[in-house]
Amino acid sequence: MDWATQPDPFRRFLGAPLLPLLLTGVDAAPPYDALFEPSAVAAQPVGLESVSAFFQFSLALSAWKESLGSRWALRINPSSGNLHPTEGYLVIGAVDGFTDVPGVFHYAPKDHVLERRCELPLALWDQLIEGFPRGTCLAGLSSVHWREAWKYGERAYRYCQHDVGHALAALGLSAALQGWRVQPLTAMGDDGVSRLLGLDREHDFEQAEREHPDLLIAVMPSTITHSGERHLGLPSHALETIRDCTWYGRANRLSSDHVDWEWIDAVADACVKPTTGDLEGSTQATEFSDPFDTKRPAVSARRIVQQRRSAVAMDGHTGITDDQFYLMMDRILPRFERPPWRALGPPAYVHLGLFVHRVEGLVPGLYFLVRSPSRLAGLRNATRREFTWQKPDGCPPGLPLYHLTSGDARGVAGHVSCGQDIAADGAFSLGMIAEFEQPLQCHGAWMYRRLFWETGVIGQVLYLEAEAAGVRSTGIGCFFDDPVHDLFGFGGSAYQSLYHFTVGGPIEDTRLTTFPPYAQEVTNRVTKDN
Ligand SMILES: Cc1cc2nc3c(=O)[nH]c(=O)nc-3n(C[C@H](O)[C@H](O)[C@H](O)COP(=O)(O)O)c2cc1C
């Protein structure tokens, strides 16, 4: 890691026309728990106000921090090492009071503005969006691998994928805040995403670090599930002509110099996603009973989203109740008809191996959350014979949570998370265990990325659920996978630990001073708070 080449966390497209966005307050409706209900929030019309809020509560800055003369920004979406490799895009038609001309826009979080990258002729936009409900726009994500590689070397590729998952969940939940429905365009190949977002435009990135295409979601201003054919891609003939449109802006260079990490490029090449059909397993949505009724006092969704932070240390004594724990586990179940799981789409391949330390009513020890109940037998057979696989006393019947073994798991939890105390000192921590070999064989190497995205979505829900429960959470990208596999008894590569997490009572770092995310008073820029 060379401080002299630390990448700029903010990509800009120099020379691109700007479209400033509005800021809005955090105390308004809807309540946090309504975010997870598909029709609980009335759909806002797509316009400057709602698009502004869509980005403000997904990819915007959440605060500035200062300590010993250094100042850095935090964002609504977390990122490994706070390096933020993920870039966000909007592709939208002509909307009164927002833009007269359809276009591709890059979101610049530092100034909360959109940069117009491309003007799309009306007829082309109509072709692109044909078959989608009226008012649909598209949101896209890409990654600058170098931003993470600068600090983490080869590990960076994985961290970028985690971050995509977090950002995807953040977009899905922010869409829910506007009462909008999302549909992932899972059939799209990377080349199509690249073409639409202008990432393949060599000339615009001459000296600048390239962005790798990740994904696109359709964002629809309606909570009504349309019963017709689902559109999972965009027409290739329309994508072809985008190159010939008017494009603006040249990407800024993020570092003065770079280290080549050949393995990152090799893995990225191997994991390129081709155009595909629908993914298997879309019936999993019906596997779960209705979500729990939370019965907790309403708290503003925007406030929870805005206040999300990573705990830098856990206090080693705060616990949570079993009801709080069960609710968090329930929220993590992949109900694909609900936010934020709809943004990812089926199937679910990731389960939780849990280290329970301080959950009132639960015996400390190892537990397992099986996120696809049909996988229970396979997981049971793949793990240690001595595990009990008993539902804990008092566990709600619909929750696929199992006790494996009792004991003080704090030491081992810290050890397998690269010796990080946060995994031992929380109320519980966990390893996200993915079905690995079979999905990769079935779908191809690109599924490797998608598995990490799923872990990121789970992580984002955990972050918010921890805030809503009055505790805090932290993603743990640094962990030892082999000891985790040994602990649970997994052999071979049928299952793979991909991401760790911890939840507990945080210790605040009092050396840091916190400043608001944007200098402008919110009231100066907001037009109406809804
Ligand atoms: C994929 C990922 C991996 C992370 N790994 C670790 C980790 O191993 N240890 C840690 O203390 N924090 C970890 N974090 C937390 C980040 O450091 C944190 O998100 C970042 O500093 C931004 O702060 P914020 O989450 O408060 O916005 C991780 C976060 C993500 C998203």
pLDDT in tens, 120-146: 999 999 999 998 998 999 999 999 999
Check if the beta carbon of residue 32 is closer than 8 Å to that of residue 176. no
In this structure, the residues whose C-beta lies within 6 A of any atom of ligand 1 are 74, 78-82, 159, 162-163, 166, 309-310, 420, 422, 474-478
Give the tokens for residue 408: 């003080």
pLDDT in tens, 294-328: 778 899 999 999 999 999 999 999 999 999 999 99
97 Cα–ligand 1 center, Å:
38
471 Cα–ligand 1 center, Å:
16
Q: Can you give the pLDDT at residue 225?
A: 52
pTM: 0.96
pLDDT in tens, 328-364: 999 999 999 999 999 999 999 999 999 999 999 999 9
For ligand 1, atom 11, which residue shows the shortest CA distance? 312
Check if the beta carbon of residue 520 is closer than 8 Å to that of residue 34. no
For ligand 1, atom 6, which residue shows the shortest CA distance? 476
Q: How far apart are alpha carbons 306 and 518 in whole angstroms?
A: 13
To the nearest 10°, report the CA torsion of 176, 333, 507, 161: -80
Residue type, 529: D
pLDDT in tens, 454-486: 999 999 999 999 999 999 999 999 999 999 999
139 Cα–ligand 1 center, Å:
24
Check if the beta carbon of residue 464 is closer than 8 Å to that of residue 173. yes
Atom of ligand 1 nearest to the CA of 463: 25
For ligand 1, atom 20, which residue shows the shortest CA distance? 82
512 Cα–ligand 1 center, Å:
17
Q: Is 70 helix (H, G, I), strand (E, B) or coil?
A: strand
Q: How far apart are alpha carbons 336 and 287 in whole angstroms?
A: 10
> Which of 57, 474, 507, 514 is the best mutation target for the ligand 1 pocket, counting ligand atoms within 8 Å of the beta carbon and taking the most?
474
